[in-house]
Amino acid sequence: MTAKNKYFFNLIFISVLVFLISACGIKDEPTVLKLGHGLETSHPVHKGMVEMSKQLDIISEGEMELEIYPSGQLGSEQQCVELLQIGSLAITKVSAAVLESFTKNFQVLGLPYIFRSKQHSFNVLDGDIGKELLLSVEPYNVRGLCFYDAGSRSFYTIDQPIETPDDLDGLKLRVMKSQTAMQLVKAMGGSPTPISWGELYTALQSGVVDGAENNPPSFYTSHHYEVCNYYSLNEHTMVPDVLIVSTIVWNRLTDQEKEWLQQAANESVPRQREVWAQSEEESLKKVKEAGVKINYPDKEPFAKKVEPMIESYRTEPELYDLIQRIKAVED
């Protein structure tokens, strides 16, 4: 073979090899997805994301990576959602209540006492209803990956314990920017005040609000126990957190990468729930040691107060049907 022929042979061989590598999707660098959120690294939801990152590395054998930016490094919850919608961020965490602004069906997850128990909520979220909700936000450039346990939300206050709904009369209580959350506090007799999570400590400290409502780990990791002396575990809602991915980023992934990402999210859920349960127990212990007075009021008067709120959904057949489907799921 002449030198010239050998040159052309090598050129053709290299060209074919490059084509085959491209066609087979072989690449030198892994696909890296960025996940931003506003929680501290000690929070059990963040730990769930860390587990997801580990699983993704294992499942993809290093071909996909998840870079996590906690503590609001990439912006507030709302800003991260906006970054997702334009494809500048891959994944973030939101409360299910935030997704009410995208689709009304998410309202049902924020309804008071809609879940009979923790296991009932897991069965709903892990089943067909949960899958439908996760995909219902796709028209808004986001797609749900999985639900994370965010515990039960209860009232904490600065100056007085909440033993009955009457104790909420006249109190200004911080709520998420959710119509359902506002209706709930109104139905119980309080005055709902939407304030962003990052501004809440200062609002409590300065007396802008008299209290708030959230789960034990959030109450502890946010240091709100330094300002609020009473935590009343009436457990009025079990609003889950949702991991959402930008559909712009999702659609750039190969089918194999989509499968890896979804599998990693799914496999992180049981571990996140374990960490959450441990964190709840530890958080209640810590705030109690710090001097917070914890009480366990009778839930029945609170549930009765909000019954008209549930029944008001009869005028919205789609939502009311969803409520009945949730009630029909076994514990």
- The stretch 192-200 carries a mean pLDDT of 92
Choices 3.50.50.60, 2.60.120.10, 3.40.190.170, 3.10.310.50: CATH for 153-238+284-328: 3.40.190.170
Residue type, 61: E
Tens-digit pLDDT profile for residues 90-146: 999 999 989 999 999 999 999 999 999 999 999 999 999 999 999 999 999 999 999
Q: What is the pLDDT of residues 57-75, one digit of tens each?
A: 999 999 999 999 999 999 9
- CA 228, 230, 232 angle in degrees (round to 5)? 130
Report residue 51 as tokens.
């587990």
Per the CB < 8 A criterion, the answer to whether 144 and 133 are in contact is: yes
The CATH code for residues 28-109+118-149+240-281 is 3.40.190.170
* 191, 171 contact by CB (below 8 A): yes
* pLDDT attached to residue 10: 40
Confidence of residue 22 (pLDDT cuts 50, 70, 90): very low
Where in the chain are the domains?
28-109+118-149+240-281, 153-238+284-328
Distances (CA, A) of 280 to 43, 88, 220, 235: 10, 34, 9, 13
Going by pLDDT thresholds of 50, 70 and 90, the confidence category of residue 12 is: very low
286-318 confidence digits (pLDDT tens): 999 999 999 999 999 999 999 999 999 999 999
Spatial neighbors of 83 by CB under 8 A, at least 6 apart, are 36, 74, 75, 89, 92, 246
